Amino acid sequence: MKVILKQAVEGLGKGGDLVDVKDGYARNYLIPQGLVVASTTGNAKQIENQRILIAARLDKEKAAAVEMTKRLEQLSLTITKRVGENDRLFGSVTNREIEDALREEGIMIPRKQIVLSEQIRSTGVYNVDIKLHPEVTTVLKLWVVPK
């Protein structure tokens, strides 16, 4: 099935691309998620208009991500956790806790965009990657301190 990507999909392409995928993948996942639009012979002109609109929307989203990057680079986030011996945490710091701490600062970032390369199990300073856009990634400085 030929479909047009509304946004970048990992492994398929970027927004506005015309790709060929299996019928089940398109019907059961891509279309219900709103990631693609079916490509038919009757909507050839709509496809070109959609490509232009998708490209404009993606540029706008990228500009917003760059603005958010500037704000996040200036931010230093602190999370307090209970600790045991040798400054080891009871549990670990999760991306949900980082999302909640960012929300308290007035920044709304979904936890799926917060990438923890390793589990945070002790106090200290960590650099957490945040993927704001397929082409824009920033680093957030996270302090984990004992309660």
Judging by DSSP bridges, how do beta strands 76-81 and 136-146 pair with one another? Answer: parallel
Q: Residue ranges per domain, the chain?
A: 2-64, 75-146
List all residues 6 or more positions away from 147 whose beta carbon is below 8 Å from its beta carbon.
80, 81, 82, 83
List all residues 6 or more positions away from 75 whose beta carbon is below 8 Å from its beta carbon.
105, 107, 140, 141
For residue 105, give the nearest of 131, 141, 138, 136 by alpha carbon.
Answer: 141
pLDDT in tens, 69-78: 999 988 889 9
For residue 99, give the nearest of 120, 121, 82, 77 by alpha carbon.
Answer: 77
Spell out the CATH class of 75-146: alpha beta
Please tell me the predicted confidence (pLDDT) of residue 138: 92
Averaged confidence pLDDT in the chain = 88
- On the question of pLDDT at 63 being above 70, the answer is yes
Lowest-pLDDT choice from 49-53, 111-115, 136-140? 49-53
pTM, full prediction: 0.69
- On the question of pLDDT at 142 being above 60, the answer is yes
CATH number for the domain whose boundaries are 2-64 = 3.40.5.10
Confidence band for 51, pLDDT divided at 50, 70 and 90: confident
- On the question of pLDDT at 43 being above 60, the answer is no
